[in-house]
Structure 1
């Protein structure tokens, strides 16, 4: 667990700089002449699509390649992208399409980094501590989400986006150098030759073997779409009736929620019925979205941000621990890569349609409910986005209710419990080749093997 904490801290240092830059770029894009929700969401679309589309291929590589090299290489590629944007801005040439290209490349690089680290987690941490480990990572991410939105607007005004780019470069450099010096643990790799057709058969066989797993994928497919709609609308919503400082405060409140959710999950030893939990979390999120529809203002959004991010963090920790428990470590890259593609593809779709959707809702409100504007701050944009929040709340209730009745989906809880029970029964009898125990075994090897396998 100590090694896991060190590697996680390094990734979070790099992520801090990335999030700082992302916040600054979001404000910068919306400040440009002629910007709109459609043009803003289009940047999000091109940022998300490459990584999502290539997720199955990246997953296949993660299973076969050296995890340390993937983590270091991915961060270097992302850092070069930040350097390119900084150079373009310095020469007064930076445009939205530049950001789209660099963001797209960065999404692929980040996919390599975090998929490789996620696949390594089952080696760094034993399966009965995966909920705690994922809760810990969510806690650290929550700290970043809480601090960046407060710090970013101040830095944006005081030192400008150019200096923020420089901070990003410094943070990723620290992480890369530290990873190179510290080394990494040995992670089980697939000996199969790269064959995407065979990889697809492996994934299909796993989904068929684990009854109800296809329901898991489709459930999070729908969740990803709704969250995608809300997330891309959040910044233009707040800036429509306020400024970047208020936006920073509200986003920091969301960071507090992520922190609280992470802390809660990091103290839990295990979670007995994960699928039942995510359904109940769906009901709670729907109530928050409906609350935003009826009482849309900066205070409501701040409270909603805390609750939504806490619930979302808990949901993500549960789902990640569930996947890491059920999937053998040497297959995690391929199976999780396919799941990332099938689930994640909805977010870019949401980013693509959300601009036209908001424009249509504005026309609808203008024609049928013009008095609705008096109920909300800002312009008709705020009213239209509030309606989208309400629709998302209604859909969440319907989805959660339908899945609550699905026996196959609920049976996944039995599979999860059975896997944990088998782990406990065999822990003292069978060596855990892809668990945290391998770290202790490696440390008893010869000095030569230590240098090759464990550099910490």
Structure 2
């Protein structure tokens, strides 16, 4: 296997990353515009929230199969396949919208199809990063991935709102399609790393064993499996918070102030992503994960107490500042500990299990707020005379109490997880895998 010069892989990764980031921003623009369209057409929060469900659930269900295929076929072609599928889905939505035939169920179907293709794209992209980028540059590469996510979070709502003033929604979707062509072209023509594929093993192993291989691999490595479960629990708690941020803030502030808070959160995420990409990797990444998970729990708890926009903006900045550090540290641990030849299956399993709790969170958040917590915090509610004297009563205070509960549970989860030795010492006890880096012309 021919070793590539030190910086070649990083240069290729940077070009691919730029194309993928532009495509991701385009996709988020479409997501924003279609969300606005659905809400304007229906006036239903439930139908609006169903977009999130159709965006996440198919990806979770199809991930085991996707991971198996990612390890059996060149990852460049898997990424091209997933980008092409998502691009065609977007083009169909644009055509239906321009002809006046677009219905709500088309949006859900398009989100589900795109979600299926995303199940292939994420493990292929993450595993290809390990092949392209030398180990000493993994922190920088993962920081860049977080920059791409932060840029989308920061740019898409602002740019989408501005574009809707000058373009119809189908115009925004065509911009998304152009961004897909850009990213697709880069993937098609850039040299890509060679990938070891164990064809013999793939031929004699039943498909269901191939699909479950990632789960079996992780269960045998207690530290990695514990890290995965830790994230699944945290994603459930944060998923509930994510669904309730808008009604919490709008209970005492305007939509413009909500946008300001979220924008400042995006600035925090972008600032942290830049820092991750340029600062030397700490010796023990697991300590960074625990520390910033604790900070996130404290931020969520504090958000439930205050009804002041400047305070919530600061909390949003701190919370989102920690996310890229947590995500990039976790990616690096898995990339270093899992051999490249099985990363497709393992990363697909990681994505499926870590995100499986989110649809459940989206499902229970609304009923918990409307049927349980909000009634408790009305002026005549059961908790009005106790907790209500501290955080206030009335509209939104039940959601505030939910934030406090979810924040405390997040802190407790981090503290309990830290006590589990295989997780706390995962970087010491589990040896690094040997991953090779090579480039084809």
TM over 0.5: yes
Superposed displacement of residue 340, structure 1: 1.6
Q: Tell me, in whole angstroms, the C-alpha distance in 1 between the residues paired with 2:392 and 2:186.
A: 49
Which stretch has the larger CA shift, 279-288 or 89-98?
89-98
Shift of 1:369: 5.1
Partner-residue secondary structure (3-state), 2:193: coil
Partner of 2:19: 10
1:240 Cα shift?
A: 5.5
Deviation at 1:265, TM superposition (A): 1.4
- Determine whether 1:220 maps to 2:231: yes
Give the drift of 1:105: 1.0
Per-residue CA deviation, residues 282-302 of structure 1 (Å, 9 max, x unaligned), is 211111111111113433332
Matches within 5 A, 1:12-411: 12-36=21-45, 38-191=46-199, 192-193=202-203, 195-199=206-210, 202-238=213-249, 245-360=256-371, 361-366=373-378, 367-368=381-382, 380=395, 382-411=396-425
Equivalent residues, number: 424
How far apart, CA to CA, are the structure 2 residues paired with 1:129 and 1:170?
31
Any unmatched runs of 5+ in structure 2? 1-9
1:386 deviates by 2.2
Deviation at residue 202 of structure 1 after TM alignment: 3.8
For residues 365-400 of structure 1, the C-alpha deviation after alignment (integer angstroms, 9 at most, x for no partner) is 2333569699789x82x3333222212101012111
Shift of 1:336: 1.5
Hey, what's the Cα distance between the residues in 2 that align with 1:156 and 1:402?
47
1:95–1:351 CA distance, 2 compared to 1 (3 A): farther
Alpha-carbon distance in 2 for matches of 1:391, 1:397: 10
With 136-145 and 16-25 compared, the bigger mean Cα shift is at 136-145
Which digits, 9 at most, give the CA deviation of each residue in 1:69-108, with x for residues without a partner?
Answer: 2112211211222222223333444343322211111112
CA distance in 1, matches of 2:139, 2:63: 24
Aligned-pair CA distance for 1:174: 1.4
1:30, distance to aligned residue in structure 2 (A): 3.2
Q: State whether residues 289 and 389 of structure 1, in contact with CA within 8 Å, keep that contact through their aligned partners in structure 2.
A: yes
Alpha-carbon distance change, 208 to 234 in structure 1, aligned in 2, over 3 angstroms: closer
Q: What is the RMSD computed on CA atoms of the aligned residues?
A: 2.6
**Contact persistence 1:67–1:120 (CA under 8 A):** yes
Q: Which residue of 1 aligns with 2:436?
A: 435
Task: Give the C-alpha shift of residue 4 in structure 1.
Answer: 0.6
Answer yes or no: is the 8 Å Cα contact 2:62–2:116 preserved in 1: yes
Structure 2 contact 288–325 (Cα < 8 Å) conserved: no
Unaligned runs of 5+ in 1: 424-431, 440-452
Normalising by structure 1, what TM-score?
0.85
Structure 1 residues 252 and 227, CA gap change in structure 2 (3 angstroms): same
Farther off after superposition, 220-229 or 147-156:
147-156
8 A contact 1:253–1:306 mirrored in 2: yes
